[in-house]
Amino acid sequence: MSSSRIELGSEEHEKVREAGEILTQVREETADRVEVGTGHLEVAEYAEDRIRELGGEPAFPVNISIDEEAAHATPSADDDSTFGEELINIDIGVHVDGWLADTATTIDLAGHDELTEAPAEALEAAIDLVEPGVETGELGAAIEETIEGYGFNPVVNLSGHGLGHWDQHTEPSIPNRAVSQSTTLEAGDVVAIEPFATDGSGKVTEGGDEEIFALEHEGSVRDRGAREALEQITEEFRTLPFAARWLDSSRPGMALRRLKMQGLVHGYPVLKEDDDRLVSQKEHTVIVTEDGCEVTTRD
């Protein structure tokens, strides 16, 4: 049994739904604020603050990925970047008592209508198939066929995933292409399905920038600043990803470097398309029910 599976109708199920309701509202409000000249940091902080106002907590830092970026990009505390005529992916997560919802959308400020539509249509094709007994590879095949029908490639080394308790990525994995070996969906599974489409080769690699981190394991550290940062991480974020700008430390960069050196935290490098080509994304959180599924992040 995967750690993302819960009993339908349970209190946990209700918290997953509540997280989804908050996230749906925040995604739409945030997308409305993305326009040429608006700051990345302003948008990210708006979304994270709004989540808290509505009774949830951010499950991870708001990802703002531009053009060839696919994931793990979030503003630093002093980021002064503003949006231009670009393709912008906004990925947001919410948790309620550790029960998660995850969603993403592409905002097109550069006239790439079909590239924006491709992952959205692929997502709907996959959702239409979700029910107990379906292989995740079937969802991947539907995603791949839809995106290729638009003349683009799916990003094959990124995938959807289960959502567990205080765990952003659990089994089952939801591939973005047809695969020969996959997992059978069962009632109670909570999954994030997230097709990525690109006009490039269909693979991403790690860049050098890191602004998102997560706890690897608890331990002791002698440096006072690093120790205080570790205390905040373990108490406030637990095992969920956090932004360097969320730390109360006066020198978060130094604290994180020390924690990384001791193997207590790990970073998430920004993922970029191999050919520096454009990437678009669409994502919903889905609960597998006895007779189909419930999309918790749909308008």
Active-site positions read 91, 102, 161, 169, 194, 283
The answer on whether 72 is annotated among ligand-binding residues is yes
The answer on whether 248 is annotated among ligand-binding residues is no
- What is the helix, strand, coil percentage profile of the chain, to 5? 30, 30, 35
Distance CA 82, CA 77 (A): 14
The answer on whether 161 is annotated among ligand-binding residues is yes
What does the H/E/C string look like for 207-266?
EEEEEEEEECCCCCCCCHHHHHHHHHHHHHHCCCCEEHHHCCCCCHHHHHHHHHHCCCEE
Distance CA 225, CA 230 (A): 9
R_g (Cα) of the chain, nearest Å: 18
Residue with tokens 């995938």: 159
The answer on whether 266 is annotated among ligand-binding residues is no
The answer on whether 290 is annotated among ligand-binding residues is no
Which among 284, 271, 278 has a CA at the least distance from the CA of 113?
278
SS3 category, 214: strand
Distance CA 203, CA 233 (A): 32
Q: In 10 A of CB 11, how many CB atoms?
A: 10
Write the CB contacts of 263 (distance below 8 Å, at least 6 apart in sequence).
216, 217, 219
Distance CA 147, CA 114 (A): 10
Which among 161, 97, 152 has a CA at the least distance from the CA of 121?
152
Write the CB contacts of 1 (distance below 8 Å, at least 6 apart in sequence).
none
Distance CA 195, CA 62 (A): 18
Annotated binding site for a divalent metal cation: 91, 102, 161, 194, 283
- Annotated binding site: which residue ranges? 72, 91, 102, 161, 169, 194, 283
Q: Which residues are annotated as a binding site for substrate?
A: 72, 169
